Amino acid sequence: MMSTKYRIPFEGQVMSVSGSVSPDLLEVVDAHNHLWIEALKDGSPNSPTLMEYEQILAELREYRQAGGKTIVDCQPGGCGRNGMKLLQLSQESDVIVIASTGFHRRIYYPSSWWLWEAGSEQIARYFIDEVLQGLEETRRLPKPVKAGLIKCACESALRDTPQKVLEAAALAAAELGVCVEVHTEKGADAEAILNFFIRNGVRPNQVVLCHMDKVPDFVLHRNLAQAGAILEYDTFYRPKYSPDTHVWPLIEKMVTNGFDQSVAIATDMAEAAMWKHIRRGPGLIGLLTVIRSHLEEMRVGITSIQNMMGRNIANRLAGIA
Ligand SMILES: [Zn+2]
Protein backbone atom coordinates (compact mmCIF):
# COMPACT_ATOMS: atom_id res chain seq x y z
CA MET A 1 0.00 0.00 0.00
CA MET A 2 1.07 3.57 -0.55
CA SER A 3 2.32 5.63 2.35
CA THR A 4 0.57 8.92 1.65
CA LYS A 5 -1.75 8.63 4.61
CA TYR A 6 -4.09 11.54 5.20
CA ARG A 7 -3.28 13.15 1.90
CA ILE A 8 -6.28 13.20 -0.36
CA PRO A 9 -5.18 12.39 -3.95
CA PHE A 10 -7.08 15.39 -5.30
CA GLU A 11 -6.01 17.51 -2.35
CA GLY A 12 -8.12 20.60 -1.74
CA GLN A 13 -10.31 19.74 -4.72
CA VAL A 14 -13.46 17.69 -5.15
CA MET A 15 -13.41 14.85 -7.68
CA SER A 16 -16.52 15.08 -9.86
CA VAL A 17 -17.44 12.73 -12.71
CA SER A 18 -15.89 15.26 -15.13
CA GLY A 19 -12.70 15.83 -13.16
CA SER A 20 -11.54 17.82 -10.17
CA VAL A 21 -13.30 21.04 -9.19
CA SER A 22 -12.81 23.62 -6.49
CA PRO A 23 -15.11 23.04 -3.50
CA ASP A 24 -16.19 26.69 -3.79
CA LEU A 25 -17.89 25.88 -7.10
CA LEU A 26 -20.18 23.22 -5.63
CA GLU A 27 -22.52 25.80 -4.01
CA VAL A 28 -25.91 24.15 -3.39
CA VAL A 29 -25.25 20.41 -2.94
CA ASP A 30 -27.63 17.51 -2.42
CA ALA A 31 -25.30 15.59 -0.08
CA HIS A 32 -26.75 12.12 -0.69
CA ASN A 33 -28.82 11.06 -3.65
CA HIS A 34 -29.16 8.43 -6.37
CA LEU A 35 -29.41 9.56 -9.99
CA TRP A 36 -29.25 6.24 -11.77
CA ILE A 37 -29.81 2.66 -10.60
CA GLU A 38 -29.57 0.10 -13.34
CA ALA A 39 -31.53 -3.16 -13.34
CA LEU A 40 -29.03 -6.03 -13.27
CA LYS A 41 -29.41 -9.38 -15.05
CA ASP A 42 -29.34 -11.40 -11.84
CA GLY A 43 -30.13 -8.37 -9.70
CA SER A 44 -31.72 -8.39 -6.28
CA PRO A 45 -35.52 -8.03 -6.11
CA ASN A 46 -34.88 -5.62 -3.19
CA SER A 47 -33.09 -3.12 -5.37
CA PRO A 48 -35.05 -0.15 -6.71
CA THR A 49 -34.26 0.98 -10.26
CA LEU A 50 -33.94 4.46 -11.75
CA MET A 51 -33.48 4.28 -15.51
CA GLU A 52 -35.87 6.90 -16.89
CA TYR A 53 -33.12 8.89 -18.61
CA GLU A 54 -35.20 11.70 -20.13
CA GLN A 55 -37.17 12.35 -16.95
CA ILE A 56 -34.06 12.27 -14.80
CA LEU A 57 -32.30 14.68 -17.15
CA ALA A 58 -35.31 17.03 -17.21
CA GLU A 59 -35.35 17.04 -13.44
CA LEU A 60 -31.62 17.71 -13.21
CA ARG A 61 -32.02 20.67 -15.57
CA GLU A 62 -34.87 21.99 -13.46
CA TYR A 63 -32.72 21.58 -10.32
CA ARG A 64 -29.89 23.49 -12.00
CA GLN A 65 -32.20 26.27 -13.12
CA ALA A 66 -33.60 26.68 -9.60
CA GLY A 67 -30.10 27.17 -8.20
CA GLY A 68 -29.02 23.58 -7.48
CA LYS A 69 -25.43 23.06 -8.51
CA THR A 70 -24.14 19.68 -7.32
CA ILE A 71 -25.36 16.20 -6.37
CA VAL A 72 -23.48 13.46 -4.53
CA ASP A 73 -24.47 10.10 -6.02
CA CYS A 74 -24.32 7.36 -3.39
CA GLN A 75 -24.74 4.26 -5.58
CA PRO A 76 -21.55 2.18 -5.46
CA GLY A 77 -20.46 -0.34 -8.10
CA GLY A 78 -22.05 -3.76 -8.43
CA CYS A 79 -25.60 -2.79 -7.43
CA GLY A 80 -26.68 -0.71 -10.41
CA ARG A 81 -24.20 2.15 -10.67
CA ASN A 82 -23.40 3.25 -14.21
CA GLY A 83 -20.61 5.83 -14.35
CA MET A 84 -21.24 6.47 -18.05
CA LYS A 85 -24.82 7.53 -17.34
CA LEU A 86 -23.70 9.72 -14.45
CA LEU A 87 -21.19 11.46 -16.73
CA GLN A 88 -23.73 11.94 -19.50
CA LEU A 89 -26.40 13.25 -17.12
CA SER A 90 -23.90 15.67 -15.59
CA GLN A 91 -22.68 16.93 -18.97
CA GLU A 92 -26.18 17.37 -20.39
CA SER A 93 -27.61 19.10 -17.32
CA ASP A 94 -24.58 21.11 -16.17
CA VAL A 95 -25.09 19.71 -12.65
CA ILE A 96 -21.82 18.69 -10.97
CA VAL A 97 -22.10 15.01 -10.00
CA ILE A 98 -19.82 13.20 -7.54
CA ALA A 99 -19.70 9.41 -7.93
CA SER A 100 -19.07 6.78 -5.24
CA THR A 101 -17.04 3.66 -4.86
CA GLY A 102 -17.64 1.47 -1.83
CA PHE A 103 -20.50 -0.84 -0.95
CA HIS A 104 -24.19 -0.73 -0.20
CA ARG A 105 -26.26 -3.15 1.91
CA ARG A 106 -25.92 -6.73 0.76
CA ILE A 107 -29.65 -7.03 0.05
CA TYR A 108 -29.19 -4.77 -2.99
CA TYR A 109 -26.68 -6.99 -4.82
CA PRO A 110 -26.89 -10.06 -6.97
CA SER A 111 -25.95 -13.03 -4.75
CA SER A 112 -22.80 -13.62 -6.80
CA TRP A 113 -21.11 -10.23 -6.12
CA TRP A 114 -17.42 -11.00 -5.46
CA LEU A 115 -16.90 -8.53 -2.64
CA TRP A 116 -18.59 -10.65 0.02
CA GLU A 117 -16.12 -13.49 -0.45
CA ALA A 118 -12.90 -11.49 -0.85
CA GLY A 119 -10.22 -10.41 1.63
CA SER A 120 -10.07 -6.88 2.95
CA GLU A 121 -6.77 -5.97 1.20
CA GLN A 122 -8.15 -6.99 -2.18
CA ILE A 123 -11.37 -5.09 -1.59
CA ALA A 124 -9.49 -2.01 -0.39
CA ARG A 125 -7.38 -2.11 -3.56
CA TYR A 126 -10.58 -2.13 -5.65
CA PHE A 127 -11.93 0.93 -3.77
CA ILE A 128 -8.58 2.74 -4.08
CA ASP A 129 -8.38 1.96 -7.81
CA GLU A 130 -11.86 3.36 -8.36
CA VAL A 131 -10.70 6.62 -6.76
CA LEU A 132 -7.31 6.81 -8.45
CA GLN A 133 -7.92 5.10 -11.83
CA GLY A 134 -11.66 5.39 -12.30
CA LEU A 135 -14.88 3.47 -11.87
CA GLU A 136 -14.53 -0.03 -13.27
CA GLU A 137 -17.25 0.39 -15.90
CA THR A 138 -15.63 3.59 -17.22
CA ARG A 139 -12.00 2.45 -17.56
CA ARG A 140 -12.30 2.14 -21.32
CA LEU A 141 -13.27 5.78 -21.70
CA PRO A 142 -10.44 8.11 -22.82
CA LYS A 143 -10.92 9.85 -19.48
CA PRO A 144 -12.37 7.41 -16.92
CA VAL A 145 -14.84 8.70 -14.35
CA LYS A 146 -13.24 8.73 -10.91
CA ALA A 147 -14.97 8.16 -7.59
CA GLY A 148 -15.02 11.22 -5.33
CA LEU A 149 -15.90 9.41 -2.12
CA ILE A 150 -16.35 6.03 -0.49
CA LYS A 151 -19.90 5.03 0.35
CA CYS A 152 -20.45 2.31 2.96
CA ALA A 153 -23.55 0.73 4.40
CA CYS A 154 -23.92 -0.55 7.93
CA GLU A 155 -26.63 -2.83 9.22
CA SER A 156 -28.66 -2.08 12.39
CA ALA A 157 -25.92 -3.67 14.45
CA LEU A 158 -22.33 -2.91 13.47
CA ARG A 159 -21.41 -6.57 14.10
CA ASP A 160 -23.89 -7.69 11.42
CA THR A 161 -22.18 -5.56 8.76
CA PRO A 162 -19.85 -7.60 6.50
CA GLN A 163 -16.63 -7.05 8.44
CA LYS A 164 -14.04 -7.54 5.72
CA VAL A 165 -15.79 -5.15 3.40
CA LEU A 166 -16.17 -2.56 6.14
CA GLU A 167 -12.50 -2.97 7.09
CA ALA A 168 -11.58 -2.53 3.44
CA ALA A 169 -13.51 0.73 3.27
CA ALA A 170 -11.67 1.98 6.35
CA LEU A 171 -8.31 0.85 4.91
CA ALA A 172 -8.97 2.67 1.65
CA ALA A 173 -10.25 5.80 3.41
CA ALA A 174 -7.26 5.87 5.76
CA GLU A 175 -4.91 5.42 2.83
CA LEU A 176 -6.47 8.05 0.60
CA GLY A 177 -7.88 10.55 3.09
CA VAL A 178 -11.11 10.77 1.07
CA CYS A 179 -14.59 11.33 2.46
CA VAL A 180 -16.62 8.32 3.62
CA GLU A 181 -20.42 8.51 3.62
CA VAL A 182 -21.85 5.78 5.81
CA HIS A 183 -25.41 4.54 5.53
CA THR A 184 -26.78 3.88 8.99
CA GLU A 185 -29.96 1.91 9.56
CA LYS A 186 -32.03 4.78 10.95
CA GLY A 187 -29.03 6.08 12.90
CA ALA A 188 -28.41 2.78 14.68
CA ASP A 189 -24.99 2.19 16.25
CA ALA A 190 -23.72 5.54 14.96
CA GLU A 191 -21.21 6.04 17.76
CA ALA A 192 -19.86 2.51 17.31
CA ILE A 193 -19.58 3.08 13.56
CA LEU A 194 -17.64 6.32 13.98
CA ASN A 195 -15.37 4.65 16.55
CA PHE A 196 -14.77 1.74 14.18
CA PHE A 197 -13.47 4.10 11.51
CA ILE A 198 -11.35 6.06 13.97
CA ARG A 199 -9.82 2.83 15.34
CA ASN A 200 -8.96 1.88 11.78
CA GLY A 201 -7.06 5.06 11.02
CA VAL A 202 -9.77 7.20 9.45
CA ARG A 203 -9.98 10.79 10.69
CA PRO A 204 -13.40 11.68 12.12
CA ASN A 205 -13.45 14.68 9.82
CA GLN A 206 -13.54 12.38 6.80
CA VAL A 207 -16.82 10.84 7.97
CA VAL A 208 -20.42 11.61 7.05
CA LEU A 209 -23.06 9.57 8.92
CA CYS A 210 -26.20 9.25 6.80
CA HIS A 211 -29.91 9.23 7.69
CA MET A 212 -29.17 10.44 11.20
CA ASP A 213 -32.36 12.49 11.47
CA LYS A 214 -34.27 9.20 11.77
CA VAL A 215 -33.00 9.25 15.35
CA PRO A 216 -33.52 12.91 16.24
CA ASP A 217 -31.75 12.74 19.59
CA PHE A 218 -29.94 16.06 20.03
CA VAL A 219 -27.45 14.77 22.62
CA LEU A 220 -26.37 11.97 20.27
CA HIS A 221 -26.05 14.44 17.38
CA ARG A 222 -24.09 16.89 19.49
CA ASN A 223 -21.69 14.15 20.62
CA LEU A 224 -21.11 12.92 17.07
CA ALA A 225 -20.64 16.48 15.81
CA GLN A 226 -18.17 17.25 18.60
CA ALA A 227 -16.28 14.08 17.66
CA GLY A 228 -15.89 15.49 14.13
CA ALA A 229 -18.51 13.67 12.05
CA ILE A 230 -20.95 15.37 9.69
CA LEU A 231 -24.55 14.24 10.09
CA GLU A 232 -26.62 13.88 6.94
CA TYR A 233 -30.37 14.57 7.21
CA ASP A 234 -32.88 13.49 4.57
CA THR A 235 -36.35 12.80 6.04
CA PHE A 236 -37.88 16.09 4.84
CA TYR A 237 -40.18 14.38 2.31
CA ARG A 238 -40.91 11.34 4.43
CA PRO A 239 -44.06 11.77 6.51
CA LYS A 240 -43.49 8.46 8.32
CA TYR A 241 -40.48 10.04 10.04
CA SER A 242 -42.55 13.03 11.22
CA PRO A 243 -40.33 15.80 9.82
CA ASP A 244 -42.37 18.53 11.51
CA THR A 245 -41.64 17.20 14.97
CA HIS A 246 -38.25 15.58 14.26
CA VAL A 247 -35.88 16.92 11.61
CA TRP A 248 -36.96 20.57 11.60
CA PRO A 249 -36.71 21.13 15.37
CA LEU A 250 -33.47 19.12 15.35
CA ILE A 251 -31.96 21.46 12.75
CA GLU A 252 -33.04 24.47 14.77
CA LYS A 253 -31.37 23.02 17.86
CA MET A 254 -28.18 22.13 16.00
CA VAL A 255 -27.93 25.63 14.55
CA THR A 256 -28.69 27.48 17.78
CA ASN A 257 -26.08 25.36 19.57
CA GLY A 258 -23.42 26.20 17.00
CA PHE A 259 -23.37 22.93 15.03
CA ASP A 260 -24.38 24.31 11.64
CA GLN A 261 -21.02 23.11 10.29
CA SER A 262 -21.84 19.52 11.23
CA VAL A 263 -25.02 19.02 9.20
CA ALA A 264 -25.43 18.15 5.52
CA ILE A 265 -28.84 18.23 3.89
CA ALA A 266 -29.89 15.67 1.28
CA THR A 267 -32.94 14.11 -0.34
CA ASP A 268 -31.85 10.47 -0.97
CA MET A 269 -34.36 9.78 -3.76
CA ALA A 270 -33.49 6.15 -4.45
CA GLU A 271 -37.15 5.40 -5.06
CA ALA A 272 -38.84 6.50 -8.26
CA ALA A 273 -41.89 7.62 -6.24
CA MET A 274 -39.88 10.59 -4.97
CA TRP A 275 -39.08 11.93 -8.45
CA LYS A 276 -41.30 14.66 -9.80
CA HIS A 277 -40.98 13.80 -13.48
CA ILE A 278 -41.29 10.06 -12.93
CA ARG A 279 -44.01 9.80 -10.29
CA ARG A 280 -44.98 13.33 -9.22
CA GLY A 281 -42.97 13.27 -6.03
CA PRO A 282 -41.31 16.40 -4.60
CA GLY A 283 -38.35 15.82 -6.91
CA LEU A 284 -34.79 17.09 -7.02
CA ILE A 285 -36.03 20.65 -7.07
CA GLY A 286 -37.62 20.11 -3.64
CA LEU A 287 -34.19 20.72 -2.11
CA LEU A 288 -34.71 24.36 -3.08
CA THR A 289 -38.47 24.78 -3.16
CA VAL A 290 -39.33 22.78 -0.05
CA ILE A 291 -36.21 22.54 2.09
CA ARG A 292 -34.40 25.81 1.50
CA SER A 293 -37.66 27.76 1.69
CA HIS A 294 -38.43 26.16 5.03
CA LEU A 295 -34.95 26.98 6.35
CA GLU A 296 -35.40 30.59 5.26
CA GLU A 297 -38.70 30.77 7.12
CA MET A 298 -36.99 29.39 10.23
CA ARG A 299 -34.59 32.35 10.13
CA VAL A 300 -31.54 30.20 10.82
CA GLY A 301 -29.35 32.67 8.96
CA ILE A 302 -27.93 32.62 5.47
CA THR A 303 -24.48 31.38 6.51
CA SER A 304 -25.96 28.39 8.32
CA ILE A 305 -28.15 27.62 5.33
CA GLN A 306 -25.16 27.75 3.01
CA ASN A 307 -23.16 25.53 5.33
CA MET A 308 -25.83 22.85 5.66
CA MET A 309 -26.86 23.02 2.00
CA GLY A 310 -23.44 22.67 0.46
CA ARG A 311 -20.36 24.15 2.06
CA ASN A 312 -19.98 21.44 4.73
CA ILE A 313 -20.17 18.52 2.36
CA ALA A 314 -18.04 20.33 -0.24
CA ASN A 315 -15.24 20.85 2.26
CA ARG A 316 -15.44 17.26 3.44
CA LEU A 317 -15.26 15.96 -0.12
CA ALA A 318 -12.19 18.16 -0.65
CA GLY A 319 -10.52 16.88 2.52
CA ILE A 320 -10.76 20.27 4.17
CA ALA A 321 -11.41 19.79 7.87
ZN1 LIG B 1 -29.16 6.42 -0.27
Q: Which tens digits make up the pLDDT trace of 202-238?
A: 999 999 999 999 999 999 999 999 999 999 999 999 9
User: How much is the pLDDT for 18?
Assistant: 98
Residues 157-161, mean pLDDT to the nearest whole number: 96
Q: Tell me, what's the pLDDT at 5?
A: 41
With bands split at pLDDT 50, 70 and 90, how would you rate the model's confidence at 111?
A: confident
- In the reported structure, the alpha carbon of residue 78 is separated from the centroid of ligand 1 by a whole-number distance in angstroms of 15
Say yes or no to pLDDT of 3 above 60: no
Identify whether the C-beta of residue 255 lies closer than 8 Å to the C-beta of residue 223.
no
C-alpha 223 – ligand 1 centre gap (Å) = 23
CA–CA dist 98, 86 (Å, integer): 9
211 CA to middle of ligand 1, Å?
8
The CA-to-CA distance between both ends of the chain, in Å, stands at 24
Going from the C-alpha of 59 to that of each of 55, 80, 202, 284, the distances in angstroms are 6, 20, 36, 6
H or E element that contains 151: strand 147-153
Dump pLDDT digits (tens) for 253-302. 999 999 999 999 999 999 999 999 999 999 999 999 999 999 999 989 99
The whole-number average pLDDT for the span 169-190 is 97
Mean pLDDT within 248-252: 98
Q: How far is the CA of 235 from the centre of ligand 1 (A)?
A: 12
Q: Please report the pLDDT score of residue 44 as a whole number.
A: 83
**In three state form, how does the secondary structure of 61-88 look?**
HHHHHCCCCEEEECCCCCCCCCHHHHHH
Mean pLDDT of 124-141: 97
Ligand 1 center to 107 CA (angstroms): 13
User: Rg of the Cα trace of the chain?
Assistant: 18
Cα(71) to centroid of ligand 1, in Å? 12
What pairs with residue 96 in β-bridges? 70
Contact at 8 Å (CB) between 167 and 120? Answer: yes
Q: What pLDDT does 6 receive?
A: 47
Around Cβ 71, how many Cβ atoms within 10 Å?
32
Tallying the residues shown for the chain, one arrives at 321
Q: So what's the pLDDT on residue 80?
A: 95
Q: How far is the CA of 166 from the centre of ligand 1 (A)?
A: 17
243: pLDDT strictly greater than 50: yes
Cβ–Cβ < 8 Å for 278, 272: yes
Q: What is the mean pLDDT of the chain?
A: 95
Judged against a pLDDT cut of 90, whether residue 35 lies above it is answered with yes
Distance in Å, CA 269 to ligand 1 centroid: 7
pLDDT band, residue 7 (cuts 50/70/90): low
In a 3-state reduction of DSSP, which class is residue 50?
strand
Q: Where are the alpha helices (DSSP H) in the chain?
A: 53-65, 83-93, 120-132, 163-176, 190-199, 218-227, 247-256, 276-279, 286, 293-298, 302-306, 312-317
Contact of 112 with 42, CB cutoff 8 Å: yes
Whether the per-residue pLDDT at 19 is higher than 50: the answer is: yes
β-bridge mates for residue 233, sequence order = 265
Percent of the chain with pLDDT over 90: 93
pLDDT at 43: 82
CA atoms within 13 A on the CB side of 277: 17
55-110 confidence digits (pLDDT tens)? 999 999 999 999 999 999 999 999 999 999 999 999 999 999 999 999 999 999 99
**By the 8 A CB rule, do 120 and 165 touch?**
yes
